[in-house]
Amino acid sequence: MQPRYSQPVNRNRGPIMNAERATRFGRPAALAFVAALAVSGCGGSDTPIGGTLSGLGDGLSVVLQNNNTDDLTLNANGAFTFRTAVDDGATYSVTVLTQPVGQTCNVSNGTGTVNTKTGEPSDIQVTCSANASVGGTLTGLLAGRSITLANGVQRVTVAQNGSFAFAGVLPAGSTYEVTIATQPAGQTCSVVNGTGTVVANVMATVAVTCG
C-alpha cells in the first residue's frame, strides 16, 4: 500500500486568492467608476445665459426674456442669469418684455449661438435710461380707487399701487412740484419729496402714501 503524501499547504494562500479574486473581478467595476468620474468631470452641455444690468432707477423693475420665454424680473443693477440654460449649439435672444416705469432699457450683444468651448455668454448688456424726469411710487391705495397727481400743468392718473411717472423729459436744472389734484374716494393721500430740481438722465422719485 503506497503511503499518502499530503500536499503542502500555504496558509497564506487563502487571503492571497481572495485578494487576487477581488482584484480580478473588481476591475470592471473600478473601470466603470473611473469612467463615470471622467464623464461627470466634463460637465453637461447646457450653458447659462446672463449679463449685466445698469442704469435701473431705485424702486423700479424690468422684466427680461430669453427666446421669448423664461421671464426674469430684475429689481437692481448688477449681474443676472436666466434660470434655464441653453444647449450647446442652440441660439439665445435676450429681449425686454416689460420696461420700467419712466425708463427705457436696451439690450446689446443679446443674441448669439452657445459654444461650450468658448464659455458662457457674459457680454450681454442691458442699459436703462430715463424717458421721464419725474415719477415715484404710490402705496396704500385701495382697490377700485384712483388718484390724480399734478406737476405744473402735467397730470397723471394712477389706479393701482406701484410705480408711476409723468410723461416726458424736462430740461436739466428745471424745478418740479408734485401735488395731488384729485384725492381717491374715501381716502386721503400725501406727497413726500414732492419738490426738487431735475437732473439729466435721472428720474426724480416722489413718494405718495394713501391712508
User: In the block, which residue shows the cell 481572495?
Assistant: 18
Report whether 179 contacts 173 (CB < 8 A).
Answer: no
The per-residue pLDDT for 31 is 45
Q: Beta strand 175-182 with 195-197: parallel, antiparallel or unpaired?
A: antiparallel
What mean pLDDT is reported for the chain? 85
Q: Torsion angle of alpha carbons 170, 200, 107, 72, nearest 10°?
A: -80
Better pLDDT: 51 or 25: 51
Among the listed residues 179, 166, 176, 206, the one whose alpha carbon sits nearest the alpha carbon of residue 58: 206
Least trusted range by pLDDT, from 38-42, 53-57, 160-164: 38-42
